[in-house]
Amino acid sequence: MNLLDAANAVRENAYAPYSKFKVGAALRTGNGNVFVGCNVENVASPEGTCAEAGAIAAMVAAGEGVIKEITVVADSPLPVPPCGGCRQKIMEFASPEVPVTMATVSGETLTLKVSVLLPGSFGAEHVVRS
């Protein structure tokens, strides 16, 4: 399954009545399964939840925990990057070399490695005590 097509399809399901900014995300796991997510806003928190977080939550709920690639798409003039919180969530489940493809609905894409999106990331090695 093409991740860009999956992200575009789920983007249509986004609930964005306040911002009108629909975002879709799709990720492929180490087992080859694809999980999708879209943003969901609410009146108390108009920024809502992010598409990437939704895809990651679906992956974890299915009992998986390794991201091999991820794509995010939005109707934006430039490829839209994951927010800071989602970058940290992606880092939890992906190695630094995993590709993150950011895309626009018009077809422009930019692919960067996780390590480039979140340099100096906080990881498990920071909480291990001797």
Active site residues: 52
CA 71 to chain centre: 6
* Beta bridge partners of residue 19, listed in sequence order: none
Which residues does 121 contact at the CB level (< 8 Å), separation at least 6? Answer: 87, 88, 91, 115
